[in-house]
Amino acid sequence: MIDFRYHLVSLVAVFLALAVGIVLGAGPLAQPIGDTLTGQVDKLREDRNALSNQLTETKAKLATSDKVGEQFAGRIFNNVLSGVQVALVVLPGADGEDVKNVSAKLGQAGGAVSAQVNLRPEFFSADKKAYRDALSGQITQYLDDPTSATTPETTLAAAVGQLVFVGQNEALTGILTVADTPLLQVTAPAEAPARIAVIVGPRTSKATPSQSEPTDKTKPAATPESAYLEFARTLNSFAGGAVVFGAAATTTDLVSVIRVDPNPVSTVDGIGSESALLTLPFALVATINGTVGAWGSGQGASALVPPLNLTVNPAEPPAQPSQPSQPAQPAPPAPAAPGASQPPAGQAPPAA
């Protein structure tokens, strides 16, 4: 058996080793150890300063590149969106500077922002689902085309689509902006029906780990990105469709989620960069012409840029109301030659 003397010897050995280490560290080994640690610290400081200088230089180059792209934008675009009305739909978490830049680039390309709607977090948040479900029942009656409104979520999305693609509707606006729990903000009411919409998303995923973990073992928990996907699909069913402008740096970013869907919507990644802003107008033209693309350099991208030689297809003329058919009227009889006898009414003239 191990007795007390064994433990005593072990403790003495530990303290003896500690004492020897202190003596050596404070004596003959002090200088070498100190020099080594000092050298490592100096090397780390130099590396940090070098990386900081490289980062500053890279930022300066990017800023110069963005300015050059901005100067060439007008020549590059060549009024590719001339006469096209574009609606901006801003998702929660989007950067206000990105929204301003999108609006400016659309103008440089010859387009016009016909409406802007900013969606609030309550439009998608889980804790307001019961409220949205109840609200959707009031909205359906004000939709011109309720075919896409199959769920409370798609009903709300269709209401936004009607506000920007059809025109301002006081009843819908009142329901969606009610003072107690507003779901959106109409920053710029629709001045004209939009031909296409740009859905401006955040620069990176806003999902938290708790949102990503399943709450039910049978199905994963809903994430903000999945709710945005359903919204984008509904908006894409209007007029010339929609293009989602956002991030695709990670698998949970909005654009990445949309690109893996079996029925994707056109996307442009790299939001916040000048190159992405230069790509966006051409993506709108391609989408209006019927091409669904994933443009950029992020996850799931199919091409760096859209086709640059396209022009916007003419808009289809609005459908005219059908006119009731009129019975065919008999043609008036040809005048008879002078001196010829006229047949009685209802009889055919004699055969020649």
10-residue stretch averages of pLDDT, the chain, 352 residues long: 68 76 62 71 81 73 55 71 96 96 95 96 94 91 88 95 91 91 94 95 63 41 73 94 96 93 93 94 96 95 93 68 42 47 45 42
| Dihedral of the alpha carbons of 295, 75, 108, 298, in degrees to the nearest 10 | 20
Within 10 angstroms of residue 261's Cβ, the number of other Cβ atoms is 13
Instruction: Note whether 257 and 286 are within 8 A (CB).
Output: no
The pLDDT assigned to 25 comes to: 62
- DSSP letter at 147 equals G
The pLDDT assigned to 256 comes to: 94
> Rounded to whole angstroms, how far apart are CA atoms 288 and 291?
7
pTM above 0.85, yes or no: no
Q: What is the pLDDT of residues 117-168, one digit of tens each?
A: 999 999 999 999 999 999 998 899 999 988 888 999 999 999 999 999 998 7
The pLDDT assigned to 101 comes to: 96
The pLDDT assigned to 63 comes to: 57
> Rounded to whole angstroms, how far apart are CA atoms 168 and 276?
30
The pLDDT assigned to 13 comes to: 78
- Using the structure block, give the residue that is written with the tokens 């005219």: 320
Strands laid side by side in the 112-119 sheet: 184-188, 112-119, 85-90, 196-200, 242-245, 266-268, 294-295
